[in-house]
Amino acid sequence: MTHINKDVLRRELSATVPRPTRTTPAYIRRLAQQIGSLARDVMDTRLSSVALALDRFASQESVPTLLHQMPLEIILDMCFSVDPTVENYNEYCRTWRP
Amino acid sequence: MSIAARGGHKDVKTFALTLQNLFVSRRGLHFQFSGDEATRLALEGYLSLFSQSELFHCQVDDSGTWTIDGYGFELISPFFKNCAELRSRAIRAYVRTRDVQPQLVVDDEVFLIPEPEPATALEPEIAEEPIQEDFTPQEAFSYIKIPVTRDAATIRSAYRKASLLHHPDLGHTKREWQTFQAAYNWCLAFAARRVR
Of B153, B154, B161, the CB nearest to A2: B161
Chain B residues 160-189 with a CB less than 8 Å from chain A: 160-161, 164-165, 167, 169-170
> Which residues make beta-bridge pairs with B105?
B110
CB atoms within 10 A of CB B132: 7
- Best CA proximity match to B2, nearest among B127, B110, B100, B128: B100
What is the distance between the alpha carbons of residues A38 and A55, in angstroms, rounded to a whole number?
14
- Average pLDDT across chain B, whole number: 57
Least trusted range by pLDDT, from A50-64, B32-46, B70-84: B70-84
Least trusted range by pLDDT, from A13-22, A85-94, B66-75, B94-103: B94-103
Of B157, B164, B169, the CB nearest to A43: B157
Answer with the residue of higher pLDDT: A19 or B136: A19
The A-side interface with B (CB below 8 A) comprises 2, 4, 7-8, 11-12, 38, 41-44
- Best CA proximity match to A10, nearest among A93, A81, A55, A71: A71
User: ipTM of the predicted structure?
Assistant: 0.76
> Which residues make beta-bridge pairs with B67?
B30, B59
Residues in A touching B168 (Cβ below 8 Å) = none
What number of helices (H) and strands (E) belong to chain B? 7, 7
Q: What is the count of residue pairs from A and B with beta carbons less than 8 Å apart?
A: 27
B113 touches chain A (CB under 8 A): no
Amino acid letter for position B163: S
Residue of A1, A8, A40 to mutate for B, most B C-beta atoms under 10 A: A8
Residues in B touching A44 (Cβ below 8 Å) = 161
Amino acid letter for position B64: G
Of A7, A12, A42, the CB nearest to B157: A42
pLDDT in tens, B34-64: 666 666 666 666 565 555 544 456 667 777 7
Predicted local distance difference test score (pLDDT) of residue B10: 36
Answer with the residue of higher pLDDT: B65 or A77: A77
Residues in A touching B169 (Cβ below 8 Å) = 11
Query: Is B136 in contact with B175 (CB distance < 8 Å)?
Result: no
Q: Nearest chain A residue to B167 by CA: give it.
A: A8
DSSP state of A61: S
A26 phi and psi, to 5 degrees? -65, -40
Does position A31 have pLDDT exceeding 50, yes or no? yes
- Average pLDDT across chain A, whole number: 84
